[in-house]
Chains A and B, each alone.
Chain A
Amino acid sequence: MRKAFVYRYHTSYMIAVLTILSAMFGRGIHLVLFFLPLFMSYIFRLSGRVVLRKREGNIIAGIISIVFIPLFFSKDVFVMALYYLLGLLTLKLFVSFERKDYDHVTLLGFLAFSLSTVFLYSIWYMLLFLVFGTLIAFYLFLRIVPDYIEITGKSLNYIFGTFAIIMVFSLMLFFLLPRNPYMLFGMNVTQASGDFGELEVGGLAKDALSSRVLLRVKPPDKQNNFIYVRSRVFVSFDGAKWSSLENWETGVRSRVIISENPGMRTMRFRFFPAVRFRYVPLTEYPVLLLWEKGRFAFNRNLMEVRIEKRPVKMDYTVFSTPLPNIPLTVKMLPEYLEVPESVNRYLRNIINSISFSRDTLGSIIDFLRKNYKYGRFVPEMDTIPSIVEFLLYKKKGECTEFATAFVLLARMLGYRTRLVVGFLTKEFNPVGGYFIVREKDAHAWAEVFEKGKWVRYDPTPSGLFHVNLIAKIREYYDYVQYLWFTRVVEYSYRDQMHVALKIMPYYWKLRTVRAGKLAGYIIVALLLLSMIIYRLYAMLFISFHKKALRHFFRYMKKNGFVRNRGETLMEFAIRSGDKRAEEFVKEYYEVKYGGKSPEGLKRILKSF
């Protein structure tokens, strides 16, 4: 009785622990605070001590309710409601613990687990799913087991083995369940990162320090050790802030297709759904964009792409070529020469100090790299624009400052220039054959309009981007993550159809006579093989007394006796009236249950 109870206990305990884990992975450490009492109450219950009285419990419940009221007005109302319920349940566990509470813990644990799917997309979810699913099944099973039955180690193995098989089948079903290309009712997605409406000087590095993977870029052929991913283009600058062009919408088309380009290469992008961009990241310049779920707005003049309706999930293919000839004239781009007046005079002084060579833009870059250092820049002076502060006083800055300085200096010299924000990554995963773009890879550079196309100039000192020497294991882990995202998390109606269309030809081939016959032969051969294996197993691994029993049955059958259903061996032997048979059964029981050596049994068998 005690043992079964302890198992029940551990189920709930484990569920609580897993809920904590899921919460920790998903929403941060603050959730632990809600589950800590749950933990403690279990520990106290295990030691058999009552922690709170009913009255004290009620008082604390009141306090919790008051504390939770402002929290209810936060973004995730349902999540907060769940935590509130969990908090109250925790209190109940403190005060008194009944068997019904296990049901509550399980149910709430399951709800928390389901909720965690909203924000927990990492591969850890899989582990959590396997453990949680097994525990739920075990809990449901324990509900029908009477308390007085002890569950021993061996039967536990069988139980968990069965549950493991159930889990495997559920994973198989996961791929078969029909996906829906449409949505019945939508949700507004409020979360959006990587959305730079404006960019302050010194602002890029401030926000982008984590090593969270944002996207993976899989180029058809790896040409360089690095890859630039464009995200957002800025044109006008007021001395401290960059902002995009106001008349952005001009020349917007829903879809642009330039076909028959011989130098076409495909860039395939994969997104982490946890992070959503307003602007589609691109490598170099897109020619054709294919995406099924939403629409892209494509500004051909600026070579910029923007999503019109922000989707929940993005998965698109970009066909990109070396820069095409664009019918764009210099006259069309007056705003790319604008320099704010507050900066103008300072820049003129700087230009005077630059020793220009034939390559004007190259000499600006050389000047910047020689006289300025790479490092953290924080604007402190209010009296002058921050870019001037960088150029004249601090002389130390990051990519945004270098790029801004370059853009402004180039504009002073009459070059049509703009600032591009995106990512520069050197992290290539050879296992999966893709570049990994992390949050900390955020970068800014300049683009200059030369001979009808935009050309990239990166003034930031090179070699300062650290190359990640990732361990081989980490590469594999990332590849597993990549597979998880592409094959599981983003598995869609389209993928399902793709697989089905791949399988169909084989199916039709099988339907023809020859293939059908072949399949038949294979099945028969497999059956025969399994029978042979079973026989071999029976010959090699079955103990002697079992073999002897088979021999005994054969002998009795020869004499015309067949054992009835429900008849014990002894009854059978007595019914036959054969004394040797009785002797055999006695000896058989001795060998089977008494641990006697089977020599007596052999002797009797010989006499048959």
Chain B
Amino acid sequence: MLKKKEKQPSFTLVRKRVPYLFILPWIIGFLVFTLGPLGSSLIMSLFDWPITGEAKFIGLNNFTKMFTADPQFYDSLVITFKFAAIFVPLNLISALVLALLITQPVKGVKIFRTIFYLPAVVSGVAVSIIWGWIFNSEFGVLNYLLSLIGIEGPSWLIDPKWAIVTIVIASAWGVGTMMLIFYTDIKGIPPELYEAASIDGAGPLRQFFNITIPTITPTILFNVITSVIAALQQLTLVLLLTGGGPLKSTYFYGLFVYNNAFKHHQLGYASANAWFMFIIILILTMLIFKSSSTWVFYEAEMKKGGKK
């Protein structure tokens, strides 16, 4: 998925301006709607910027406040990382399991594939509303079903231990996109590889670990990065489903920023918060990329070591 070996174009282009024309719309969009606002918000982060009244330049005070005087900053950061630590592996594994299931040679897999993907087409608002009802501890369907098999379900949205689990479950419901990406990749593995392995006497489990996993490592890398980014930015669900509670157990960083801006009216401080999140994401992504050289195998290496 990530990187296929590039073939150099066999011609040199005379008209040098052409490619720039093709990327021009993107460049305009990027400059006006991304880079501009990005810069503005960096400037805002150096100000005490209330909703009403004059903005006041305060240097790095917003950042100092964030690091030294706001315990909620650390709490939210920790909770968000905790969420990412549960969500990312769970999501990856379930996506992979589902993808493997729908690559099995059984009847009707196409229908299953479609059904598994359906939750991923639903908006975050809809997900919050639907799961809010399912998780209601008193009147929710989930606890009712659990009670039928003799389990007393927890108070999902009241008990801080479980609330984060509800967010994980509700987010993981949309695992379909990742499943599809794995699926297309697994489907792309040449069957000869498996045939050769079977002849060598490798069972399905060994085939999975020796062929499937190494081949799809670039895709795993891609999925790890996108889901880490998504997890760290999670906002819609905590805003609409739990409101950050109970006991601030789901007061994710995204909500922290959102509330500072739109509830407490501290636009400068919120900009500083948001920029910090941006930097964290950049660093994390870079670290994951760095680590990838040890566990991601690209096509070229595969061929060298392969059986072809």
Mutual binders A and B: no
